[in-house]
Structure 1
Amino acid sequence: MVNSQPDWVRWQKALEVEEKNGFVDLIGNQYRFSEFLCLTFGKPPKLLDSEWRKNWQEMASKFAKYPNLPISDRENLVKLAKSFLQASEAECQKVWQRRSNPTEEPETQETLQELPIPNSQLPTPQLEISLDQPLTEVPKLGITKSRHLAKLGLYTVRDLLFYYPRDHIDYSRRVDISQLEAGETVTIVATIKRCECFTSPKNKKLTILEIVLQDRYAKMRLSRFFAGNQYSNRGWQESIKRRYPVGSIIAASGLVKETKYGLTLQDPEMEMLASPGDNIESINIGRVVPVYPLTEGVPADVVRQAVMAVLPATAKIEDPLVRGLRDRYGLIKLPEAINNIHFPTDSDSKEAARRRLVFDEFFYLQLGFLKRRQTLRQTQASAILAPTGQLVEKFYQVLPFKLTGAQQRVINDILNDLQKTTPMNRLVQGDVGAGKTVVAVVAILAAIQAGYQAALMAPTEVLAEQHYRKLVSWFNLLHLPVELLTGSTKTAKRREIHAQLETGELPLLVGTHALIQDKVNFHSLGLVVIDEQHRFGVHQRAKLQQKGAQPHVLTMTATPIPRTLALTLHGDLDVSQIDELPPGRQAINTVALSGRERNQAYDLIRRELVQGRQVYIVLPLVEESEKLDVRAATVEYEKLQESVFPEFKVGLLHGRMTSAEKDQAINDFRENQTQILVATTVIEVGVDVPNATVMLIENAERFGLSQLHQLRGRVGRGTHKSHCLLMSSSTSADSRQRLSVLEQSQDGFFISEMDLRFRGPGQVLGTRQSGLPDFALASLVEDQEVLNLARDAAELVMLQDQHLQNSLLKAELEYRYQKLMGGSILT
Structure 2
Amino acid sequence: MPTPGVEALAKILELEQANGYGDVAVIGGLDAYLRRHLNIAEDRGISLFLTQVCPPDFRYADLTRNERRAWVRRVHQYLDEVSIGKQSPAGVPVVAGAEAIVKRPPAEVSSPIGAETISDGALDSPITVLNGVGSATAKRFAKLDVSTIRDLLYFFPRRHLDYGNKRMVSGLEAGSEQTLIATVWEARQVTLGNRPGTEAIVGDETGNVRVVWFNQPYLAKSLRTNSQIVLSGRVGFFKGQKVFESPEWEILGAEDLAHTGCLVPVYPLTEGLYHRSVRKLVRQVVLQWAPQVVDFLPREVRDHCSLMGLSEAIWQAHCPDNEQTKEEARRRLAFDELFVIQVGVFARRQEWQENRAVALRTDSDLLDRFKSSLPFTFTPSQQRVLEEILSDLGKSRPMCRLLQGEVGSGKTVIATTALLVAASNGYQGALMVPTEVLAEQHFNSISRLISRIGLPEGGDGILIMFPSLPPYPFTMALLTGSLSQGEKRRLQQLIRQGEVHLVIGTHALIQKGVEFKQLGLAVVDEQHRFGVLQRSALRQKGATPHVLVMTATPIPRTLALTIYGDLDLSVIDQLPPGRVEIETRWLGPRHREAAYAFIRQKITEGRQAFVVCPLVEESEAIEATAAVAEYQRLSQEVFPDLRLGLL
TM range (shorter): 0.5 to 0.7
Residue 447 (1) aligns with residue 426 (2) = no
Structure 1 Cα separation of the partners of residues 134 and 368 of structure 2: 76
Partners of 2:101 and 2:130 within 8 A in 1: no
- Report the CA distance shift for 1:387/1:172 in structure 2 as closer, same or farther (over 3 A): same
Partners of 2:392 and 2:399 within 8 A in 1: yes
- Of 503, 517, 520 in structure 2, the residue corresponding to residue 526 of structure 1 is 520
Residue 484 (1) aligns with residue 477 (2) = yes
Structure 2 Cα separation of the partners of residues 415 and 156 of structure 1: 50
Partners of 2:161 and 2:232 within 8 A in 1: no
Deviation track 1:330-389 (CA, whole Å, cap 9, x = no partner) reads 3222211111111122222222222222222223223322222122112233x2223455
Aligned to 1:546: 540
Aligned to 1:734: 595
Structure 2 Cα separation of the partners of residues 386 and 563 of structure 1: 30
Deviation track 1:228-252 (CA, whole Å, cap 9, x = no partner) reads 79x9xxxxx9xx9xxx9xxxxxx98
- Report the CA distance shift for 1:307/1:284 in structure 2 as closer, same or farther (over 3 A): farther
- Of 158, 172, 176 in structure 2, the residue corresponding to residue 166 of structure 1 is 158
SS at match of 1:474: coil
- Of 374, 379, 384 in structure 1, the residue corresponding to residue 359 of structure 2 is 384
SS at match of 2:164: coil
Partners of 2:293 and 2:310 within 8 A in 1: yes
Kindly state the Cα deviation for residue 471 of structure 1 after the two structures are TM-superposed. Answer: 2.0
Aligned to 2:69: none
Kindly state the Cα deviation for residue 528 of structure 1 after the two structures are TM-superposed. Answer: 1.7
Partners of 2:169 and 2:209 within 8 A in 1: no
Alignment of 1:327-338 (within 5 A): 327-338=303-314
Aligned to 2:146: 154
- Of 305, 311, 326 in structure 2, the residue corresponding to residue 350 of structure 1 is 326
SS at match of 1:371: helix
Aligned to 1:572: 566
Aligned to 1:748: none
Partners of 2:399 and 2:547 within 8 A in 1: yes
Letter in 2 for 1:485: L
Alignment of 1:124-143 (within 5 A): 131-139=123-131
- Report the CA distance shift for 1:146/1:401 in structure 2 as closer, same or farther (over 3 A): closer
Deviation track 1:255-302 (CA, whole Å, cap 9, x = no partner) reads 6999xxx99999775555xxxxxxx77686332110001111111111
Partners of 1:127 and 1:139 within 8 A in 2: no
- Of 362, 372, 376 in structure 1, the residue corresponding to residue 338 of structure 2 is 362
Aligned to 1:467: 446
Greater Rg by CA: 1
- Report the CA distance shift for 1:226/1:577 in structure 2 as closer, same or farther (over 3 A): closer
Deviation track 1:396-435 (CA, whole Å, cap 9, x = no partner) reads 5655654321122112211222233332122212333332
Structure 2 residue ranges without an equivalent (≥5)? 1-94, 109-115, 189-200, 212-217, 456-467, 586-592, 625-647
Partners of 1:340 and 1:353 within 8 A in 2: yes
- Report the CA distance shift for 1:411/1:352 in structure 2 as closer, same or farther (over 3 A): same
Kindly state the Cα deviation for residue 167 of structure 1 after the two structures are TM-superposed. Answer: 0.5
Q: Considering only aligned residues, what root-mean-square deviation do their CA atoms show, in Å?
A: 5.5
Structure 1 Cα separation of the partners of residues 203 and 550 of structure 2: 67
Structure 2 Cα separation of the partners of residues 734 and 199 of structure 1: 32
The sequence identity of aligned pairs, in percent, is 36
Structure 2 Cα separation of the partners of residues 563 and 554 of structure 1: 17
Kindly state the Cα deviation for residue 159 of structure 1 after the two structures are TM-superposed. Answer: 1.5
TM-score, length-scaled by structure 1: 0.46
Alignment of 1:147-546 (within 5 A): 148-173=140-165, 181=172, 184-185=178-179, 270=252, 272=254, 285-312=260-287, 313-381=289-357, 383-387=358-362, 391-392=366-367, 394-396=369-371, 401-458=376-433, 459-476=438-455, 478=469, 480=472, 481-486=474-479, 497-516=491-510, 518-535=512-529, 540-546=534-540
Letter in 2 for 1:576: S
Kindly state the Cα deviation for residue 307 of structure 1 after the two structures are TM-superposed. Answer: 1.3
Structure 2 Cα separation of the partners of residues 735 and 517 of structure 1: 44
SS at match of 1:445: helix
Partners of 2:345 and 2:566 within 8 A in 1: yes
Deviation track 1:754-778 (CA, whole Å, cap 9, x = no partner) reads x9xx967x55xx979xxxxx9989x
Deviation track 1:513-544 (CA, whole Å, cap 9, x = no partner) reads 55445454332111122334445565554443
Deviation track 1:758-807 (CA, whole Å, cap 9, x = no partner) reads 967x55xx979xxxxx9989xxxxxxxxxxxxxxxxxxxxxxxxxxxxxx
Structure 2 Cα separation of the partners of residues 739 and 220 of structure 1: 35
Structure 1 residue ranges without an equivalent (≥5)? 1-82, 95-106, 109-125, 189-194, 201-209, 232-236, 245-250, 273-279, 591-703, 707-731, 745-754, 769-773, 778-827
- Report the CA distance shift for 1:128/1:179 in structure 2 as closer, same or farther (over 3 A): farther
Structure 2 Cα separation of the partners of residues 227 and 492 of structure 1: 64
- Report the CA distance shift for 1:182/1:566 in structure 2 as closer, same or farther (over 3 A): closer
SS at match of 1:131: helix
Kindly state the Cα deviation for residue 483 of structure 1 after the two structures are TM-superposed. Answer: 2.7
Alignment of 1:575-654 (within 5 A): 575-582=569-576, 585-587=577-579
Structure 2 Cα separation of the partners of residues 581 and 438 of structure 1: 13
TM-score, length-scaled by structure 2: 0.57
Deviation track 1:579-630 (CA, whole Å, cap 9, x = no partner) reads 2233xx325699xxxxxxxxxxxxxxxxxxxxxxxxxxxxxxxxxxxxxxxx
SS at match of 1:548: coil
Structure 2 Cα separation of the partners of residues 503 and 199 of structure 1: 76
- Report the CA distance shift for 1:337/1:536 in structure 2 as closer, same or farther (over 3 A): closer
Deviation track 1:695-725 (CA, whole Å, cap 9, x = no partner) reads xxxxxxxxx989xxxxxxxxxxxxxxxxxxx
Kindly state the Cα deviation for residue 498 of structure 1 after the two structures are TM-superposed. Answer: 4.8
Deviation track 1:99-149 (CA, whole Å, cap 9, x = no partner) reads xxxxxxxx99xxxxxxxxxxxxxxxxx999963444333346566755654
Partners of 2:209 and 2:243 within 8 A in 1: no
Partners of 1:705 and 1:739 within 8 A in 2: no
Structure 2 Cα separation of the partners of residues 223 and 501 of structure 1: 69
Partners of 2:263 and 2:322 within 8 A in 1: yes
Partners of 1:132 and 1:157 within 8 A in 2: yes
Letter in 1 for 2:398: P
Aligned to 2:589: none
Letter in 2 for 1:471: I
Structure 2 Cα separation of the partners of residues 532 and 199 of structure 1: 51
Kindly state the Cα deviation for residue 578 of structure 1 after the two structures are TM-superposed. Answer: 1.7
Structure 1 Cα separation of the partners of residues 514 and 616 of structure 2: 31
SS at match of 1:555: strand
Deviation track 1:200-243 (CA, whole Å, cap 9, x = no partner) reads 9xxxxxxxxx9999xxxx788999999779x9xxxxx9xx9xxx
